[in-house]
Structure 1
Amino acid sequence: MAAPPVSSAKFVLGVDIGTTSIKVVLLDSQSKNVVDSSSFPTNSVLNNDIHEHAKEQDPARIIAALDQCMDALPTEKLHNVKCIGVSGQMHGVIFWKSTTGCEWSTSNAGHTFRPQDVSQLITWQDGRCDTDFLSSLPKPESHLSVATGFGCASIFWYSRHRPEFLTEFNIAGTIQDYVVSMLCGLGGCVMTAQNAASWGYFNSTCSQWNTDVLKGAGFPIHLLPVPVQSGSKAGKTCSEWHGIPASTPVGAALGDFQCSVYSCMADRTDAVLNISTSAQLTFAMPADFSPPGEPDPLSPIAYFPYFGNSYLAVAAALNGGNIMATFVGMLTDWMKELGLEVSEAHVYSKLIQCALSQPSTDLHVTPTLLGERHDPTCLGLVSHISPTNLSLGHVTRAICRGILANLATMMPPHTLLAAGVKRIMGSGSALTRNEILRQEVVRTFPLPVVCGKDVDSAVGVAMFFSDKL
């Protein structure tokens, strides 16, 4: 009997290192279709006893979740991966040593790596850099302001409060930069403009760090990654990895936000609304746009580097799907205190059902529990409370409406219309799983709304590098 024909299909692996979960996809390089995907939660959030506002994650758990995702993909297709693209949560920082960083091992799943001599991941949600601390930092030579949770701000905090901690490491990057560095066996870290801009103190016009400003303020500039263009190759896999051959090209890590936009912005007249852990509303600026020379810390709209020297106008809200998650967690905790054990998944499902039966509400919820970068002191507010609007349906719908109202305050509908936006493309895990949020998008913005399938950062990074092949 003749042997079965060997498949000639080639694939691009897209990896997204999210705030709460990892997702990987295999994209057929010819058809541009996603043929396989896998996602697992990281369960990596750590309790920090040193600072009450610290938000850190365990990189070992993150990599373990990545391994779970990879193990779920077909081995025969992984053998035919011709390129790897990685995106991930922006702003955060992780430290490691150039001489180690990870340890490779062999198992039934093939070669894998484990973090070694690395710090915890200080995430974009970190709040230890308060307003007073931020006001003590030098003014950046950039159009983007610096906020708590930004890589450079976090490094400044450590240099002033725990300088001995920084002496243990000589490399820093985002978590996605770390994964790329380990896959390629790099002795340093390369960082695209997308991620560098999210750290602060990076001039995206000339693609350079504000080294003079930082050096003058006592910043350890040796920790700064080497800037590269978005779309550059970081290197090649230094080993076989989960069946992917050694010497497979790996792209320099990209921002999860930009990749999410890339996955669904079919036309430059599209705006993209992403609601995952946080929320963003964005549209493309004209090709000849240049950002302003100085940051406006009070502006709710920022300009993020995109691809090909272009920019996105972005309203980046800290309050998104995490608000619903907080509400669900609060109810679950209350029930525990009352002696009832109910899973968060069950509570979430019931809340959506209740809100579906409550099509409108006069209850007002301003869900800015985390403040916003342009207004860090603003907090949540509930108003127009009456005996008739205290049901779970009313409250759930009011929270979802408030999430969209907050975004509309940051980027009003008239701003979208003036920019020539003709429709809104919806994306993100929170928007995908929450029909109430989708209903409130339509109510809030007077534009057609399209929520697509396979619209996310893992798909976007795979699409981008597939288009470059």
Structure 2
Amino acid sequence: MAAAGGDAQGNFVLGLDLGTSSVKAVLLEAGPHRGLLVPTASASQATRADVSPSGKAGPQAREQDVHRILQALSECLGALPARQLQRVRLIGVSGQMHGVMFWKSQQACTWTEKGPHGIFEPLQVSHLITWQDGRCTGSFLASLPRPKSHLSVATGFGSATIYWLLHNSPEFLQPYGAAGTIQDYVVAMLCGLQRPIMSDHNAASWGYFNTESRSWNSHLLEESGFPTHLLPDVAEAGTVAGRTCHTWFGIPQGTKVGVALGDLQCSVYSCMSQSTDAVLNISTSVQLAASMPPGFKPAEYPDPLAPVAYFPYFSRTYLGVAASLNGGNVLATFVSMLARWMADLGLEVVEGLIYSQMIRAALAQTDTQLTISPTLLGERHLPQELASVRSISPCALSLGHVTRALCRGIVQNIHAMLPSQQLKEWGIERVIGSGSALARNEVLRQEVEKAFPLPVSYGQDVDAAAGAALAMLQAVTREDN
């Protein structure tokens, strides 16, 4: 009865995104046209979940406390309008890709009544080992079997992390019967799944997954001793994983929950209105993504030196993605450097003031011969290529010159990874610019428009939570038709 009531009377869709540093929940109301969603409320909460790595992982490891992530999720749900939550009929979930956590197949959470709300809390779970984890060295990765997949395996990828634990801390894995991303865990707990279900988005991000056959490299993994019993079942992105097994913050028991999606795909989905759009997101890092033409199939084996990777999207299509590690974080490092230099000179200046002044100086300096390659963190396909400065002359050392060259370098770096000519060959007709760094930096926007000889549109910011909700609604709408 609860399931039927929720589906028949509800007209709200809940989108959740479990990110690296924060959790976001958004409520969207289905409009008069099917597939149209109107945002009505949202809440976000910093997780502050980073913890010291456990065991033999070393200082390069990056782990998070699952209890803190779930606490942030609960706080987000508690901040949304109760009446609207009671009318939620669908839940879409996305989250940080690549990472892995472990739990027991049974009794991995406990459901309790907390005030007026039903709430679940994790039990007998590991830390989340995130996508930022660096415990797998180059030599260790080289020792692993070659995947039967077009995607390479890198440190921070779930399968590589499991291999590392198998070789270095096999006792760690023994208590657990299931593994998944943090978003897979949330979906499994909401639906009471004994065995987790993972979308092809997240499976591809783990490695050792063939996106064409939609299957794990099971035989190869078993031959190398990999604990394949931990691997989730895999479903196509946009399908229903199950229904809520309890009332959750007023959301009716029996509400449909989608299989957890990748935050990259959901971010793109939230603002890509046409298949002829490319999405350029400049925030902490930079991503340039475009939907591949129908019928596109990736190469059979990975090319670790290729700057563009192809990730499964929706409806058996792919996204071509250039993902740079160097974006707004490079500008932030530059600002921090200036602040430290001033402190060394006996001057204390607020970093926000430094940023605004350097952008003002760069707007006055419309061009420069100074060339900055801003790859402070290297790139996944070129990890050893660090930052450099060229064409330095006495007349090009002002704050305006350096800031202009730095912003230009950030844009030209992503353009070199995925040039506009390639976008045109894929049928791309417009670039949608989004992200916090791009929104607050006019110099970056100017350089984007110089680098990409295509119309550039702003104002449709990426939102993985909204993308997850929209993808879920449209998938169920197609299913109903």
Q: Please give the secondary structure, in 1, of the residue aligned with 2:110.
A: strand
Work out which of the residue numbers 408, 425, 430 in structure 1 matches 2:432: 425
Change (3 A) 1:269 1:214: same
Q: Is the 8 A contact 1:260 1:427 kept in 2?
A: no
**CA displacement at 1:304 relative to structure 2:** 0.9
Give 2:6's aligned residue.
none
Give 1:126's aligned residue.
133
Q: Is the 8 A contact 1:19 1:277 kept in 2?
A: no
Q: Is the 8 A contact 1:323 1:369 kept in 2?
A: yes
Q: Is the 8 A contact 2:10 2:89 kept in 1?
A: no
Select between 171-180 and 366-375 the one with higher mean Cα deviation: 366-375
Query: 1:278-330: per-residue Cα shift (whole Å, max 9, x none)?
Result: 32212222211222211111111121111111112221223333334444555
Mark the runs of 5 or more structure 1 residues left unpaired by the alignment.
1-7
CA distance in 2, matches of 1:288, 1:48: 43
**CA displacement at 1:277 relative to structure 2:** 3.6
CA distance in 2, matches of 1:10, 1:349: 44
Output aligned runs, 1:164-243, within 5 Å. Answer: 164-243=171-250
Output aligned runs, 1:293-312, within 5 Å. Answer: 293-312=300-319
Change (3 A) 1:25 1:338: farther
Q: Is the 8 A contact 2:99 2:131 kept in 1?
A: yes
Q: Is the 8 A contact 2:148 2:210 kept in 1?
A: yes
CA distance in 2, matches of 1:65, 1:350: 36
**CA displacement at 1:230 relative to structure 2:** 0.9
Q: Is the 8 A contact 2:188 2:195 kept in 1?
A: yes
CA distance in 2, matches of 1:143, 1:328: 39
**CA displacement at 1:332 relative to structure 2:** 6.0
Give 2:11's aligned residue.
10
Q: Please give the secondary structure, in 2, of the residue aligned with 1:33.
A: strand
**CA displacement at 1:143 relative to structure 2:** 1.1
**CA displacement at 1:27 relative to structure 2:** 1.3
Give 1:3's aligned residue.
none
**CA displacement at 1:357 relative to structure 2:** 4.8
Letter in 2 for 1:288: G
**CA displacement at 1:407 relative to structure 2:** 0.9
Give 2:147's aligned residue.
140
**CA displacement at 1:181 relative to structure 2:** 1.4
Output aligned runs, 1:289-368, within 5 Å. Answer: 289-328=296-335, 352-353=359-360, 355-368=362-375
Pair 1:276 & 2:283 matched: yes
**CA displacement at 1:44 relative to structure 2:** 2.4
CA distance in 1, matches of 2:107, 2:331: 40
Letter in 1 for 2:168: H
Work out which of the residue numbers 47, 50, 68 in structure 2 matches 1:42: 47
Letter in 2 for 1:37: S
**CA displacement at 1:336 relative to structure 2:** 7.3
Pair 1:286 & 2:293 matched: yes
CA distance in 2, matches of 1:311, 1:352: 37
Letter in 2 for 1:28: E
**CA displacement at 1:401 relative to structure 2:** 2.4
Work out which of the residue numbers 84, 96, 116 in structure 1 matches 2:123: 116
CA distance in 2, matches of 1:357, 1:40: 38
Q: Is the 8 A contact 2:296 2:318 kept in 1?
A: yes
**CA displacement at 1:437 relative to structure 2:** 2.9
Change (3 A) 1:59 1:396: farther
CA distance in 1, matches of 2:392, 2:51: 36
Select between 381-390 and 36-45 the one with higher mean Cα deviation: 381-390
Give 1:462's aligned residue.
469
Letter in 1 for 2:303: D
Select between 418-427 and 323-332 the one with higher mean Cα deviation: 323-332
Mark the runs of 5 or more structure 2 residues left unpaired by the alignment.
1-8
Give 2:159's aligned residue.
152
Letter in 2 for 1:412: P
Change (3 A) 1:168 1:321: farther
CA distance in 2, matches of 1:388, 1:45: 45
TM-score (norm 1): 0.90
Q: Is the 8 A contact 2:293 2:427 kept in 1?
A: no
Q: Please give the secondary structure, in 1, of the residue aligned with 2:106.
A: strand
Output aligned runs, 1:62-101, within 5 Å. Answer: 62-101=69-108
**CA displacement at 1:395 relative to structure 2:** 4.1
Q: Is the 8 A contact 1:9 1:28 kept in 2?
A: no
Q: Is the 8 A contact 2:420 2:452 kept in 1?
A: yes
Give 2:447's aligned residue.
440
Select between 86-95 and 363-372 the one with higher mean Cα deviation: 363-372
Pair 1:29 & 2:38 matched: no
Give 2:170's aligned residue.
163
Select between 364-373 and 329-338 the one with higher mean Cα deviation: 329-338
Select between 321-330 and 443-452 the one with higher mean Cα deviation: 321-330
**CA displacement at 1:387 relative to structure 2:** 5.1
Change (3 A) 1:423 1:327: same
Query: 1:180-201: per-residue Cα shift (whole Å, max 9, x none)?
Result: 1122222221101111011110
Select between 13-22 and 82-91 the one with higher mean Cα deviation: 13-22
Select between 375-384 and 307-316 the one with higher mean Cα deviation: 375-384
Change (3 A) 1:395 1:179: farther
CA distance in 2, matches of 1:215, 1:335: 57
Select between 271-280 and 386-395 the one with higher mean Cα deviation: 386-395
Letter in 2 for 1:160: H
Give 1:370's aligned residue.
377
**CA displacement at 1:345 relative to structure 2:** 5.8
CA distance in 1, matches of 2:92, 2:253: 15
Select between 310-319 and 226-235 the one with higher mean Cα deviation: 310-319
Q: Is the 8 A contact 1:427 1:456 kept in 2?
A: no
Give 1:4's aligned residue.
none
CA distance in 1, matches of 2:18, 2:109: 17
Change (3 A) 1:400 1:246: farther
Aligned residues: 463
CA distance in 2, matches of 1:35, 1:454: 17
CA distance in 2, matches of 1:421, 1:108: 51
**CA displacement at 1:109 relative to structure 2:** 5.9
Q: Is the 8 A contact 1:235 1:251 kept in 2?
A: yes
Q: Please give the secondary structure, in 2, of the residue aligned with 1:172.
A: strand
Letter in 1 for 2:464: S
